[in-house]
Copies of this chain bind each other. A is one copy, B any other.
Amino acid sequence: MTIKIALLGAGTVGSQVARLLKEENELLSARAGAPLELVGISVANLEAERDPWIDRDLLTTDSKALIEKADIVIELIGGVDLPRELILHALRSGASVVTGNKALLAEHGPEIYDLAKEQNVDVYYEAAVAGAVPVVYAVRESLAGDTVTEIQGILNGTTNYILDEMTTKGLAFDEVLKVAQDLGFAEADPTADVDGHDAAAKIAILASLAFHKRVHINDVQVEGIRSITANDIAAARAGGYVIKLVATARQEAGKIEVRVNPTLVPQSHPLASIGGSFNAIVIEAEAADRLMFYGRGAGGAPTASAVLSDVVAAAAKRVVGGRAPQEIVLGESEFVSADDSRSKYFIRTKVKDQVGVLADLAAKFAQSDVSISSVRQDERAEDGEAELTVTTHTARAADIAATIDSIQQAKTAQVVRVLRVGDE
């Protein structure tokens, strides 16, 4: 019995998958319990230059014909519409599917999982979140005997790299983005990364698994990092924080909150020290307590490692039987509204450097029922203006918005930035 594998896409990750399927074939086959054979690679352009280990005889542009020959289909094309069509085709033809396509799953996951269930085949997607870090496994299987209460993650390497460079070198967002694009760390169109959509797709997938509720990417409250300035970072540091793009999923009293925000992470928190393009995920569960996972969240080889782990699992099930864990949906998803979302806040303001201004500002917070935990006044007053930074206790987003509104209207202060603060 030979397990026939179709590879859709030969980009950065696909090419590494092809390499490892060739170089490590003996070991992979031993682990799967049967020989693994790559039967074809579908690409858009047959003539494009390829890595030397890519066997050109395997290349084809006819994805559907290739899929119909395979036991396992690996989808690494990118985009949403074409992968969706091909994955549905694969499931209908009885193949198991391995994909790293977070955008697709966060948008069309349920359609795919339902068809897989109907067809008695499995969909594997460890590579969709945090590259080689087995976090899909952790929430889907390892914590199967536990109750996850919160997940917090740095799930996008590009934005973490940008914030890291801004923090360590004091550079502006645009400068760092340009360097990152020149170095190939950021895409020419960086929207998915810097506006938080990539992290949103990933946290939607993790939230679905952790809470057994369907979470669509549109259910995620998203805020990117474009507006973050070197001054924000300096002010955060003065307060003992590092600014990170944090994806959060939490469940309390049956309601789910899923967010991606630039967040002030206390310097003592495990996420604060995650540098460069690494990803990290902190999971809080009732019995397991705090777990942390850390590793390369992207890149050809690390993501290929996750893909092959799924291929081995899918192949082993073809050989000895069994199924991947099924999607478990326990009731309708109820979400915390944007207004009711609660956290601590860090509010940078500019005020006239004169007696009584702090008292006026404090009064505005009190009027909206927002409790202040600390106030820091910058010593360097310019043009008679001082920077005054307020950190609040946990407050409702709507109450914070009302406070800001009343401060701006009364011209008590000019509000420069409002950022969330993470827990210790």
CB of A294 within 8 A of CB of B294, answer yes
From 1 to 52 in chain A, residues with beta carbon under 8 angstroms from any chain B beta carbon are 16, 20, 24, 27-28, 30-31, 33
A291 — which chain B residues lie within 8 A by C-beta? 132-133, 293-295
Whether a CB of chain B sits under 8 angstroms from the CB of A301 is yes
> How would residues 297 to 319 of chain A score, 1 for a CB under 8 Å from any chain B CB and 0 otherwise?
00101101111110111001100
Nearest CB on B from A1, distance (A): 15
**Which B residue's beta carbon lies closest to that of A320?**
B323
Q: Tell me if A289 and B132 are in contact (CB < 8 A).
A: yes
A102-157 interface (Cβ within 8 A of B): 126, 131-134, 137-138, 141-147
Beta-carbon contact of A145 and B292 below 8 Å: no
| A321 contacts partner chain B, Cβ-Cβ < 8 Å | yes
With A145-B305, A145-B309, A309-B141: A270-B294 Cβ-Cβ less than 8 Å: yes
Query: Is B142 within 8 A of A309, CB to CB?
Result: yes
Interface pair A305/B323, CB less than 8 Å apart: no
Chain B residues closer than 8 Å to A30, beta-carbon distance: 328, 330
The interface residues of chain B lying within 8 Å CB-to-CB of A288 are 131-132, 295-296, 301-302, 305-306
Q: A287: which B residues are within 8 A, CB to CB?
A: 16, 20, 132, 301-302, 304-305, 308
CA A316 to CA B145, docked complex, whole Å:
12
The CA of A46 and the CA of B307, in the complex, are separated in Å by 50
The minimal Cβ–Cβ distance linking A349 to chain B, given in whole angstroms, is 35
Distance of A270 Cα from B292 Cα, bound (Å): 12
Q: For A132, A286, A287, which residue has the most chain B Cβ atoms within 10 angstroms?
A: A287
Choose among B28, B301, B330 the residue that contacts A144 (Cβ–Cβ < 8 A). B28
B296 & A145 in contact (Cβ 8 Å cutoff)? no
Instruction: Say whether A79 faces chain B, with CB atoms less than 8 Å apart.
Output: no
Decide if B322 touches A302 in the complex (CB within 8 Å): no
Contact digits for A317-347, partner B, Cβ 8 Å, 1 yes 0 no: 1001111011010100000000000000000
Top 3 closest pairs, chain A to chain B, by CB = A322-B322, A145-B308, A132-B288
